[in-house]
């Protein structure tokens, strides 16, 4: 049971990191679009 919990928590961490990367990319894209509109 302990091993299962560790592996699942590790998977959750990976998912969170993946989501963070995707969010960063989206933020960069949005920022680029907004700066292009103001320019």
Total tally of structural domains belonging to the chain: 1
* Overall average pLDDT of the 14-33 stretch: 92
The confidence score (pLDDT) of residue 23 equals 96
Domain residue limits at 25:
1-39
Residue 17 has pLDDT above 80, yes or no: yes
The confidence score (pLDDT) of residue 1 equals 55
Residue 3 has pLDDT above 90, yes or no: no
pTM of the prediction? Answer: 0.52
Beta strands per DSSP E along the chain: none
* Overall average pLDDT of the 23-34 stretch: 88
């Amino acid at each position: 049971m302990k091993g299962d919990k560790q592996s699942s928590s590790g998977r959750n961490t990976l998912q969170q990191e993946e989501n963070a990367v995707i969010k960063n990319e989206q933020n960069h894209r949005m920022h680029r679009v907004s700066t292009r509109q103001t320019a």
